[in-house]
A and B are shown apart, each in its own frame.
Chain A
Amino acid sequence: MAAAARYLIRLVPHLWAIALTCIMILPPRSATHTAVSVEAVQFTIQSAYAEMRVGIDPSAPPFAAFSGESVVGFDVDLARALGALYGVPVRFVYLGYDGLYDALLTGQVDLLIASLTPDTNRLNRVIFTPPYFDAGIVLIAPVERMIRSMADVDGKQLAYAFGSNAHSEANLWSRRLRTFQPMPYESAQYALDAVRLGFADAALVDAVSGRMYARQHPAWLHHTQSVYALPYVIAVDADQVGLAAAVTAALERFQADGTLDALLHRWL
């Protein structure tokens, strides 16, 4: 016992090194971690915002698009869910892509929900929330083909839409694999048709096209593997730290309670 105590005393001068080691091996703080809960900021948001002005680009179905006189889509429903959570009415401001950030930074809107991807060049003036959707490129193949990665495509037939981002990715793969047969089609729909009908082994398409196709063919058993991510996020003026925290807290809530999943299934 005494020997153990002496040993521990001998360690005291090295406590700083032990502490440093512990800090280094601890898992990093999650990027999505937020210090606030919905309940904690609800009153502040209700006091500060008589309404929530949401900048939206109504030219991006199924996220936001005109349906008659009104705009509908995933982004629209997400904004409404946000307003409902905090008890604040939502007013949509329709903007083209070119005007989105200017409208945010000149205070014409409080936040942007417009299929935006984080832009590192704007981080000094804009806070981007954690993602609510991944619109990146995916590899889709029938379940039985066991194609899960680029390496699995070696020697196989790969379908994609001519001129698309998936085409660019396929060009990269062609430099990394020994051989595969590229099969460019006029659209992602045709590329996926080719896989489903057995003309190709796998398809590279954007995630939205993949999900929309799967909705049309619910009986088709296929595996979808993300190739690279393209996260959709909400943008808030960097001066509105409280609002950004509130939106982040809301997204975490929507992730946990299934709201985001329900919206996904509704629109994609």
Chain B
Amino acid sequence: MITFLYTGLQMLRRHWYWAARAAAAAVLLTSLIPAPPRASLGDVQRVETEKPHVCVHTRLTEEVDEWKIRQSLDYVREMGAGTIVEFFPWAYLEPADDVYNWQIADRIVRHAQNQGVRIIARMGFVPAWARITEDAAATTFNTLPPEAYPLFADFLAAFASRYAGAVDHLIIWNEPNLAFEWGYQTVDPRAYTAMLRTVYPAIKAANPHSVVLAAALAPTLEPPGSPHGLDDLLYLQAMYEHGAADWFDALAIHTYGFIHSAGDAPAAERLNFRRAELLRAIMTEHDDAAAPAYITETGWNDSPRWANAVSPSLRIQHTLAALELAESWEWLEAMCLWVFRYAVPTFSYPDYFTLVSVDFERKPIYFAVQAYARGQARAEDLWLPPPGT
């Protein structure tokens, strides 16, 4: 190795003139590489809406091009949504212990503020260095051993402090009642409550104005002991029994309509939009009615192939009916539709939850929600009657 280096240095000394010329040529050639497209902030905007509870879940963190973040938020504002839910992956923002890279989050926050859109941040996605476990290969981005809860708390405190005033709402984790979202371990309401107990004081110390949201639970009917997860109603009940009420300010809710209408009556053994009312009832039963709720994911899917989907026309009707129903729930702060747009298509049924396509084509449901947010009457005759009728 030393011989190799020595020979290299000798060559460089002998041919320094050519080496300098090559370096200069390289610099010149590098300057010919076109700069990546930049997105200016543009004029400061504000959301004009008659329905402040209209919200949408975005996926801006996955964007490579900044202009797509601006374009997305531009469309969000024009649709009349004053709030977005956005995912801020821990692994991206703290790639090594105590080493932060805020660039991805900064540009989202910057553009959202410029568009006048409030952000609710969903936090999770564990970096490899924080997965303190014997079998690291068997972990996923959703594996967080209890010994690592303080590391998560440190990260959340850093996030809350940096974006205080810009991002005050933090959702801690996502759907911990699913094994998949809990690192393929047995789901554990007690452990999740312990996580909340660890992170809550740290966030509050970093930003006293922060609103800590307990994770939205996946709507599911999985019975106790199932390897896949646990019924969301049972899980929330267990969280309260383990004392979670003291460690969150509001509850995030995921509720999907699937094949049912927005008005379909709630029942413990049924997954539908009004299941949110059952979760709310559990909050009230545990003297937690003062804490508001945020529906951070909801909607209908219009895939032609998914068993739990409806037609695009029914999707519009159900979504608008749900927005009207949610407006009447005084305990609800926002109703966020899943999902505004994907950066890349999944080529599967999740694509049919979007309001805007990957190439920024606004779907009919986008315009329907926009008309609702503007207080306009529903458009009629969007499609023809069945042929021959």
Contacts and interface: CB of A to CB of B under 8 A. Distances in A.
Interface of A: 59-61, 63, 65, 96-99, 102-103, 106-108, 115-119, 121, 135, 161-164, 167-168, 171, 183-188, 190, 193-194, 197, 199-200, 206, 208-209, 230
Contacts of A117: 347-348
Interface string B154-187: 0000000000000000000000001010001000
Interface of A is mostly: mixed
Contacts of B350: 97-98
Nearest to A162: B383
Contact of B312 (A63, A116, A162, A171): A162
Interface of B is mostly: loop
Interface string B42-83: 000000000000000000000000000000000000000000
B348 A206 contact: no
Contacts of A197: 387-388
Nearest to B180: A99
Contacts of B383: 162, 184-186
Nearest to B142: A102
B311 A186 contact: yes
Given A65-B307, A162-B383, A193-B386, 18 more contacts: A60-B349, A61-B307, A63-B305, A97-B346, A97-B350, A102-B180, A106-B138, A115-B348, A135-B305, A162-B311, A162-B382, A163-B315, A164-B302, A167-B312, A168-B361, A186-B384, A190-B387, A193-B388
A163 B304 CA distance: 11
A246 to B, nearest CB: 24
A146 B112 CA distance: 51
Which of A171, A183, A186, A194 lies at the interface centre, i.e. has the most chain B CB atoms within 10 A of its CB?
A: A186
B329 interface: no
Contacts of A187: 311
Contacts of A230: 347
A194 B382 contact: no
- In the A-B complex, the 8 residue pairs with the smallest Cβ-Cβ separation, listed nearest first, are A163-B312, A117-B347, A162-B383, A99-B180, A194-B387, A59-B307, A199-B387, A184-B383
A186 B72 CA distance: 28
B357 A97 contact: no
Nearest to A99: B180
Contacts of B386: 185-186, 190, 193
A117 B363 CA distance: 22
23 contacts: A59-B307, A59-B349, A60-B305, A61-B305, A102-B140, A102-B180, A106-B140, A115-B348, A117-B347, A163-B313, A163-B315, A163-B316, A168-B363, A171-B361, A184-B382, A185-B383, A185-B386, A186-B313, A186-B383, A193-B387, A193-B388, A194-B384, A194-B387
B20 interface: no
Nearest to A107: B138
Which of A63, A102, A103 lies at the interface centre, i.e. has the most chain B CB atoms within 10 A of its CB?
A: A102
A222 B162 CA distance: 62
A212 to B, nearest CB: 10
Contacts of A106: 138, 140, 184
A162 B138 contact: no
Which of B350, B363, B384 lies at the interface centre, i.e. has the most chain A CB atoms within 10 A of its CB?
A: B384
B364 interface: yes
Contacts of A135: 305
Contact of A162 (B313, B346, B347): B313
A242 to B, nearest CB: 20
Interface in B344-389: 344, 346-350, 357, 361, 363-365, 382-384, 386-388
Given A97-B346, A163-B313, A115 B305 contact: yes
Contacts of B305: 60-61, 63, 115, 135, 206, 208
Contacts of B311: 161-163, 186-187
A135 B312 CA distance: 19
A117 B384 CA distance: 32
Nearest to B313: A186
B308 interface: yes
A188 B387 contact: no
Contacts of A185: 383-384, 386-387
B102 interface: no
Contacts of A59: 306-308, 349
B364 A162 contact: yes
A108 B184 contact: yes
Nearest to B350: A97
A107 B383 CA distance: 47
Contacts of A107: 138
A183 B382 CA distance: 10
A98 B180 contact: yes
A131 to B, nearest CB: 12
Nearest to A230: B347
Nearest to A168: B361
Given A115-B305, A184-B383, A121 B347 contact: no
Contacts of A168: 357, 361, 363
Contacts of A108: 184
A117 B180 CA distance: 22
B382 A119 contact: no
Given A117-B348, A190-B386, A209 B180 contact: no
A56 to B, nearest CB: 13
Contact of A163 (B178, B308, B364): B364
Contacts of B382: 162, 184
A209 B348 CA distance: 15
B325 to A, nearest CB: 22
